[in-house]
């Protein structure tokens, strides 16, 4: 059994159990469990305990950011399901080795090729805006490290994820397969034009900023579906936008939050969707 399995299987459930049943003794139990892990392998045990603590802190900071931005986003809390997915997915598995110590910092981190893994708060917010459901088929444009796809995969039936950079696509596909995310299908290609063969989608999430909302993506949304995308030019104002398509095929958009994203590359200069 690997050390992360030991921590996840024993340490976290026991902390939750004792917090519910014996909140006044939770710290005592946690201390004993930490001592046990460290006695079995001091350096490795401390490393995993620290990582669990950092993950918990990341979740707290996400909740704080949600409260701070609620007047802009219209959300004073994210769904329990989204927060559970953020807790389940190990972000440290998706960062490059040089950033491992900062894996659970609530900030974007470089992943190579001029790309980044998004800030956890933004990952959680965009996921929540999509309002995913268990039976959904979702398209992600911009696989990057695979982290956002992994979060989505805990909430929907299947994720189709596109990445234009071959090296990132291959690395993300390998990471997701190694970690057992078997309801994600990756493809290297130009996400601006979507994935017509798999359309229509219950939701589309774009993880890079486009100068406008790509019409091919709007066309591949099911009636009643949502598209979440950052819109704006590199180095200029960018806005996270939510597009909703009604049952008659009409669309409406609203600005959610000022953001900074790497640009969507390879896209065509299409007209903005209205």
Catalytic residues, by residue number, are 118
Residues 6+ apart with CB under 8 A from 44: 3
CA distances from 112 to 30, 164, 230 (A): 37, 14, 21
Compute, in degrees rounded to 10, the torsion defined by CA atoms 187, 135, 221, 144.
Answer: -30
Half-sphere CA count of 274, side-chain side, radius 13 A = 0
């Amino acid at each position: 059994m690997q050390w992360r399995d030991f921590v996840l299987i024993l340490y976290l459930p026991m902390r939750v159990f004792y917090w519910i049943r014996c909140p006044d003794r939770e710290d005592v139990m946690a201390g004993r469990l930490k001592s046990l892990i460290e006695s079995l392998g001091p350096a490795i045990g401390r490393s995993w305990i620290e990582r669990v603590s950092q993950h918990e802190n990341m979740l707290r900071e996400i909740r704080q950011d949600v409260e701070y931005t609620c007047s802009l986003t219209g959300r004073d809390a994210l769904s329990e399901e989204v927060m559970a997915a953020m807790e389940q997915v190990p972000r440290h598995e998706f960062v490059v080795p040089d950033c491992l110590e900062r894996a659970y910092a609530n900030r974007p981190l470089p992943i190579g090729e001029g790309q980044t893994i998004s800030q956890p708060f933004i990952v959680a917010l965009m996921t929540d805006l999509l309002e995913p459901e268990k039976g959904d088929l979702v398209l992600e444009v911009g696989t990057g490290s695979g982290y956002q796809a992994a979060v989505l995969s805990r909430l929907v039936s299947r994720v189709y994820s596109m990445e234009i950079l071959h090296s990132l696509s291959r690395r993300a596909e390998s990471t997701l397969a190694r970690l057992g995310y078997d309801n994600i299908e990756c493809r290297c290609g130009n996400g601006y034009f979507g994935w017509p063969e798999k359309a229509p989608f219950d939701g589309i999430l774009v993880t890079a900023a486009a100068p406008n909302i790509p019409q091919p993506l709007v066309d591949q949304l099911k009636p009643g579906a949502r598209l979440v995308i950052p819109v704006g030019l590199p180095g200029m104002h960018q806005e996270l936008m939510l597009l909703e398509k009604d049952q008659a095929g009409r669309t409406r958009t609203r600005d959610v939050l000022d953001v900074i994203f790497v640009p969507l590359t390879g896209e065509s200069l299409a007209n903005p969707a209205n």
